[in-house]
Amino acid sequence: MLPYSERRLRLADAMRAQGGGVAIAFTAPERPRNRDSEYPYRWDSYFYYLTGFPEPEAALVVIAEAGRTESILFCREKNPERETWDGFRYGPEAASERFGFERSLPFGSLDEELPRLLADRPALWYALGADDALDARLQRWLGSVRAQARTGVTAPARAFDLYAVLDEMRLFKDTHELATMRRAAQISAAAHVRAMRVTRAGCREYEIEAELLHEFRRNGSQFPAYGSIVAGGANACVLHYRGNDARLADGDLLLIDAGCELDGYASDITRTFPVNGRFGAAQRTLYELVLEAQRAAVDATQPGARFAAPHDAAVRVLAQGMIDCGLLQGTLDGVIESGAYRRFYMHRTSHWMGMDVHDCGEYREPGEPAAGEAGRPWRILHPGMVLTIEPGIYVRAADDVPQAFHDIGIRIEDDALVTDTGCEILTLDAPKRPEDIEALMRG
């Protein structure tokens, strides 16, 4: 069975647990870039998770009744003239066969078919509020059903957030997803290795970015998973740096946060290394501190641990290191309790990974807080979850900061799969020990 068919059955089971009904999901529209030109098309992640269908102008309807599930795809019809200009279209007949739908219908028939499919269904699953235009269209369909009330036809009386159900499903990766994510991680790691090999003083940041993109694409990746950050020197202290146009200086560090997307799944790697291939003394001090913090976070990434455990472990190492090297004053507990460490480490250590680089899924335990709890506790980690582990340190120049550490920004990021016994680092092929980086760059 295709993984998409199995996911639709799981969705239907979740719907039946609430009494059944109908779910509707749309893919993303094409977006104009400028006159007569569109951005490269990328489907909606939720829609693709359930269908594997790559074309625009498509919608999925899942009907869940007692003992029965039906999946209906609405897609573009075959059109030889448009295919001459824009390329192949599956069309409804081929789409049903290829992707395992019970039925496929023309996208243009939505307004006619949806009122029929909504009639006499007890509940609706839909991403309410996600798109005003689609919400308005849904209201018209529901209005058409309600207009038939005198004939005994009823409209759905309850509505559920479709994304809430799919978020929980997507949080746990299946074997198909993990195989794709492992390959995406390998491609991205190879790109970081390539970047280390070609970096030289005098290069522009965008030249290194071009090397990353080349490695992504030549290995089959369709897109970068996000805008690549290629930040030399002080630029590395800007967390979401986007310029990528400065000249790299001898003696500076280069921070690269870049990952490819492969078949709809993201990877996310950050490596920091010296432009000239040799860490300076102050650079190495802070780099080894961040690496030690990442090791502590990896050790804390265990099934049964809370989502916050890797962050808490990293913070304790980083905060103590900041005290030891003179960036902060005080005791470890005092620095953590006051949040003083956030001056140099202001982001969290992890986020979920999957179809989106910052993937969906609750970070707190679902449901209401238990009696006596002030709020919902952090999520418990389970096998099949994938998260990043990415501590860092960012030291802007300031009068109260030792000059040797001025304008040093370091982040080390890997993708971790929670397993039965700990975690599997998917991105290990990108070196991160300082001696390994220096050896690679010398070669």
Handedness of CA 144, 48, 269, 428 (dihedral sign): positive
Indicate the Cα dihedral angle 173, 178, 180, 184, nearest 10°: 110
Per the CB < 8 A criterion, the answer to whether 386 and 416 are in contact is: yes
Q: How far is CA 160 from CA 118, 359, 401, 419, in A?
A: 14, 21, 53, 32
Question: What residues act catalytically?
Answer: 36, 240, 257, 268, 347, 351, 358, 390, 394, 411, 413
Strand partners, 258: 269
Tell me the C-alpha distance between 194 and 440, whole Å.
10
- The amino acid that residue 214 corresponds to is H
CB-based contacts of 423, cutoff 8 Å, min separation 6: 298, 301, 302, 416, 417
- The single residue listed with the structure tokens 């104009």 is 32
Tell me the C-alpha distance between 428 and 415, whole Å.
9
Tell me the C-alpha distance between 307 and 380, whole Å.
6
> How many other C-beta atoms can be found within 10 angstroms of the C-beta atom of residue 216?
26
Per the CB < 8 A criterion, the answer to whether 101 and 7 are in contact is: no
> How many other C-beta atoms can be found within 10 angstroms of the C-beta atom of residue 175?
9
CB-based contacts of 437, cutoff 8 Å, min separation 6: 196, 271, 273, 274, 279, 431
Tell me the C-alpha distance between 304 and 291, whole Å.
24
Tell me the C-alpha distance between 357 and 237, whole Å.
21
Q: Is 198 left (phi over 0), alpha (psi -120 to 50) or beta?
A: alpha
Tell me the C-alpha distance between 402 and 398, whole Å.
8
